[in-house]
Structure 1
Amino acid sequence: MSKPEGAMTLRETAFQVMKQHIVNGEWPGGMFLSEKYLSELLGMSKTPIRSAFDRLEMMGLVKLSPKQGVFVQELSLKKILEFYELRMSLETYAVRKLTGRMDAEFFRRLDENIELQGEAIRQDDISRYVGLDREFHAMIVGGLDNEEYMEVMSRIQDKFLLVVRMTFVKNKRRLIGSIDEHRQIRDALAGQDAALSARLIEAHIEYVKKIMF
């Protein structure tokens, strides 16, 4: 049993490391991914790397060409808009359902996340802030306690984070606006006005569309 478990660990490691490089923008769209380079980078054989390629292709993060090799997928404006619309629908639905219904533990975790966001801003750490931003929105959708919604949210965010990161790189002042909006959304969820929560999350996500389009 130890051998299969080790192989699974290598595949998962390859997948997570490669995905992180892509969503962080370190490997830009169109970049060629050499199996030899990745094998040396990750210190493993090509077998788990090829397995990771298959998973990344299913997620739409890489493109596999039989003749040319593997490339980081370039996101078109059409695709970005599709992710944006799907995320908007999912999160506005979530906050409408959750407003006034969540317990103290839910808000404790949101508050802890927002505190960490503040630290990332003070340290001028955009990559860390982007990760915390992802966690904040994932916690909200996670409040629905619906595995199907969480799976959809995870797929959206892996692709949408590329866009979110670009907005912060283009305008670092947006970090302050973003965390302020997170605080407003948190407070609205603790209230009783579901329509207000929906308006706040919609305006928050809308900012990305304004920057990109």
Structure 2
Amino acid sequence: MQEPTASSNSGGGAGGVRARVLAELRDAIIRGDHPPGAPLSEVTLAETYGTSRTPIREALKQLQVEGLVEIRSRVGTFVRRPSRREVVELFQLKEMLEGLGARLLARRGQVPELDKLRRNVAESELAVARGDADEYARLVHDFHGVIVQGADNTRLQNHYRLLMNQLAYHRLVVSTLRHPGRLGASLHEHRIILERICEKDGFGAEMAMRDHVRASEREVMADPVLGASGTSAENGKEP
């Protein structure tokens, strides 16, 4: 969703700046530009985004509500590192939401989202052949997003968007796709999901998606860095 800008907010320039800063800072954290545990200086961010510290401070407060940052009184603000338990719980929700999305999309029959998924898988095959994990990670994000969008359920989309922000999933995907064999395995799982959706097999599509999410979770939890978040998250210390 495109956030309004100051130039498009007649009489509401400050609101436009706040929305821009919030959206861009959120995206930067999710992409991994600011890694877990990294400090977030209001002064530095204000210089980066060309604004005063007020919209930066407001954006950080909102991101704390969303679970992406942690504001510690008299210490500073840091990118929040979810605990191992939180990652597991978020993946459990992801499995349910995306499984539901695949089932609902399969029931809709021939809709435009199917062509988008077919193109996505075709492009993914090229990315895997090149060993391009970064490009494939982008396509993974789009693949799952199209399925949720194609489910045609506004409540599902809203919950899913918040979940993905909290999980910072793109950062996780980029790391795990560099595991040996994961690129090809992930692509194979996407093909199966697409096949079930095209066959209008709602139950099969849901089960295939759930299997795929669980496989992704196993890769994350097996990663010595990504899966090691534990008490260090609560203490705010690097592992």
Q: TM-score, normalised by structure 1?
A: 0.87
Q: CA deviation at 1:85?
A: 0.5
3-state SS of the aligned residue for 1:63? strand
Give the counterpart letter for 1:164 in structure 2.
Answer: V
Instruction: Give CA-to-partner distance per residue, 1:148-172, whole Å, 9 cap, x none.
Output: 1101111111233133333124x16
Deviation, 1:23, is 1.4
Letter in 1 for 2:216: V
Match of 2:231 in 1: none
Cα deviation code 1:115-135 (max 9, x no counterpart): 443454466554443333222
Tell me the residue number matched to 1:81.
Answer: 88
- Verify: 1:195 aligned to 2:192, yes or no: no
Alignment of 1:117-132 (within 5 A): 117-121=124-128, 125-132=132-139
Cα 1:128–1:61, aligned 2, differ >3 Å: closer, same or farther?
farther
- Asked if 1:40 corresponds to 2:40, the answer is no
3-state SS of 2:108 partner: coil
Cα distance, 1:103 vs structure 2:
1.9
Instruction: Quickly say closer, same or farther: Cα 1:38–1:112, change in 2 above 3 A.
Output: same
For 1:20 and 1:127, the matched residues in 2 are separated by 16
* 1:10 shift after superposition: 1.9
Does structure 2 conserve the Cα–Cα contact (< 8 Å) formed by 1:39 and 1:49?
yes
Whole-angstrom distance in 2 between the partners of 1:123 and 1:15: 35
Quick one: structure 1 residues 120 and 22, their matched pair in 2 at CA, closer, same or farther if it must change by over 3 Å?
farther
Q: Deviations over 1:69-113 (max 9, x none)?
A: 211001111110111000111122222333253324121121233
Sequence identity percentage: 28
Maintained 8 Å contact 1:24/1:127: no
Residue number in structure 2 paired with 1:135 = 142
Number of residue equivalences? 211
Contact 1:138 1:153 in 2 (8 A): no
| Alignment map for 1:117-196 (pairs within 5 Å) | 117-121=124-128, 125-160=132-167, 161=169, 162-169=171-178, 171=179, 173-196=181-204
Stretches of structure 2 that go unaligned for 5 or more consecutive residues are: 1-8, 223-239
1:126 and 1:95 map into 2 onto residues whose CA distance is 24
Deviates more, 1:200-209 or 1:156-165: 156-165
Matched, 1:110 2:138: no
Compute the TM-score of the two structures, normalised by the length of structure 2.
Answer: 0.78
What's the CA shift string for 1:21-41, capped at 9, x where partnerless? 211222111111001111122
Larger mean Cα displacement after TM superposition, 144-153 or 107-116 = 107-116
Give distance in 1, aligned partners of 2:141 and 2:148: 11
How much does 1:19 deviate? 1.7
On the 8 A contact 1:100/1:190 being kept in 2, the answer is: no
Structure-1 separation of matches of 2:187 and 2:153: 26
Alpha-carbon offset, residue 141 of structure 1: 1.8
Provide the C-alpha distance between the structure 1 equivalents of 2:119 and 2:98, rounded to a whole number of angstroms: 20
CA–CA separation in structure 2 for the residues paired with 1:11 and 1:32? 20
Question: Which structure 1 residue ranges, 5 or more long, are not aligned?
Answer: none
2:19 is the counterpart of 1:19: no
